Amino acid sequence: MSDIPLAPIILDASCVLNLYASGRFKDIAESLPEQLIVSDYVVEREALFVTYRDSEQDEEKRRTVDLNPLVATGLIEVISIDSNEEQETFVDLAAEMDDGEAITISLAEHRGCCVATDDQKALKVIAERALIQATSTLELVKRWAESRNVLRTEVKSVLALILESASYYPGERHPLYSWWRDMISK
C-alpha cells in the first residue's frame, strides 16, 4: 500500500445528481478511499432534485436531493470559496462555463482535488489545466462495483436509475462507454 495520500474528489452537480439518482450514493461513497467534497453552491443551487416515475400514478415526479445524511456521517464535506485566489479563478472560469463547474474547478485547482464531472465543457477546461485530474460518474460506479464485487444485475439497476432519474447517457467517446453499454444491455 502506498503512503501517498489520495487527492479528495470534488463532485460537480452532474455527478451529485447521477450518484444520488443511483440509489446507492452512500454505498459508493463508502467504497471510495478518497474524501468526497461538494461546493456549497452546487448543494444549494444546482443539485436540487432528480426525477422518478411513480408507477402507481404513471407520472414523473421530483425527489429532492438531500445530502445531509452523507454530510452528517462525514462521507461528504461541503466547502466554499474562501480565498481571493479561489475567487479570482472562479471569476475567470465563469466566463467560459456555468458557475457550479467554475466553482468546482477553482476549488479543485487551489486545494489539490480531483474533479468528478460528466460535463464536456468542464472536462475540456480541466484537460487544459495541468494541475487538475478528472474522473466521472461511470468511473466512480465502476470502482464501487469492482471493490464491492457487486452483482452485474445490481450494477445494471444502478446504471438504469442514473439513466432514468438523472438522464445521464454517456457519449460514445467516454472511456467507459463500452462497459456501460455492456452493463445496461445484458
- Domain boundaries of the chain, sorted by first residue: 9-185
Between strands 9-11 and 49-54, the pairing is unpaired
What backbone phi and psi angles, to 5 degrees, belong to 69? -60, -35
pLDDT reported for residue 1:
42
pLDDT reported for residue 102:
97
Residue 38's CB is within 10 A of a number of other CB atoms, namely 27
The yes-or-no verdict on residue 2 having pLDDT over 50 is: no
pLDDT reported for residue 104:
97
More confident residue, 59 or 48: 48
Return the CATH superfamily for domain 9-185.
5'-nuclease (3.40.50.1010)
User: Distance between CA 8 and CA 181 in Å, rounded?
Assistant: 28
Whose cell is 461538494? That residue is: 38
pLDDT (tens digit, 9 = 90+) per residue, 59-109? 788 999 999 999 999 999 999 999 999 999 999 999 999 999 999 999 999
Q: What global pTM score does this model have?
A: 0.93
